[in-house]
């Protein structure tokens, strides 16, 4: 799954690295949590190029009676997107890129749950996402999103059996194209290569989403965290 992530690079650096339009201004984020605003790219109606926008993390289906359902729909399983009523319409018509440069997962150990930080050498990347437009009975509107997950790769498997789908930049156009067929889209929803990812333990301060500073991603020595390095192998892949 994916329950917390980071976006710490500058908007201009992210746009340049990912080949995306200029991003909206935002402060570095070290502990992004569900129900908070996130930065995303999507195809807007009657536009030929992606637009950058803010969406609320936690998808609210257009037919929902209560926006609170979004807190339960922060992730969507790749294997069932075409079947689940909450996601199948968005999968067909409203796909997005959720911009990030790392994410957290909690590894179960005998001493408790150890937060781990995973990244692509701290380089910006995009999760595969879906978005929806929701309007309440009183007319208030929310645009929200979910992050798609798939089975874990070899790096992630000792930590969790699921991981967010990270898309390669050359697949962005296909993912965002409204005309893309479901078979081609499903082919993109695979585990990211483990050899291109890094992981290390971090402080338990990330457990509280109110903690939002660079200390969240500072590596914690294994003797301090209780992590046995061999149990999380590899902590960092060699390139």
Cα(234)–Cα(31) distance, integer angstroms: 24
Cα(215)–Cα(144) distance, integer angstroms: 28
Structural contact between residues 120 and 204, judged by C-beta atoms closer than 8 angstroms = no
Burial code (b: 16+ CB inside 10 Å, e: under 16) for 58-74 equals bbbbeebeebebbeebb
Q: Which of these is catalytic: 2, 96, 145, 216?
A: 2
Cα distance between the two ends of the chain: 26
Structural contact between residues 158 and 8, judged by C-beta atoms closer than 8 angstroms = no
Q: Which of these is catalytic: 51, 79, 96, 105?
A: 105
Q: Is 79 a catalytic residue?
A: no
Is residue 183 classed as helix, strand or coil in its secondary structure?
helix
Whole-number CA gyration radius for the chain = 18
Q: Is 145 a catalytic residue?
A: no
Q: Enumerate the active-site residues.
A: 2, 105
């Amino acid at each position: 799954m994916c329950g917390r992530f980071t976006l710490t690079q500058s908007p201009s650096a992210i746009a340049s690295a990912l080949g995306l339009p200029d991003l909206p201004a935002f402060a570095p984020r070290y502990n992004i949590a569900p129900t908070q605003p996130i930065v995303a790219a999507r195809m807007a109606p009657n536009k030929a190029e992606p637009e950058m926008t803010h969406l609320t993390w936690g998808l609210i289906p257009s037919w929902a009676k209560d926006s609170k359902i979004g807190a339960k729909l922060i992730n969507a399983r790749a294997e069932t997107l075409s079947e689940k009523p909450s996601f199948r319409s968005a999968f067909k018509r409203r796909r997005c890129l959720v911009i990030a440069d790392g994410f957290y997962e909690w590894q179960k150990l005998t001493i408790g749950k150890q937060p781990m930080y995973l990244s692509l050498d701290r380089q910006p990347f995009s999760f595969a996402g879906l978005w929806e437009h929701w309007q309440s009975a009183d007319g208030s509107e929310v645009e929200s999103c979910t992050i798609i997950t798939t089975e874990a790769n070899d790096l992630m498997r000792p930590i969790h059996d699921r991981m967010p789908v990270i898309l390669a930049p050359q697949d962005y156009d296909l993912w965002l194209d409204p005309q893309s067929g479901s078979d081609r889209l499903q082919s993109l929803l695979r585990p990211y290569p483990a050899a291109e990812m890094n992981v290390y333990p971090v402080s338990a301060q990330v457990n509280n989403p109110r903690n939002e500073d660079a200390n969240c991603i500072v590596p914690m020595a294994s003797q301090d965290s209780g992590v046995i390095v061999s149990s999380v192998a590899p902590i960092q892949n060699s390139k």
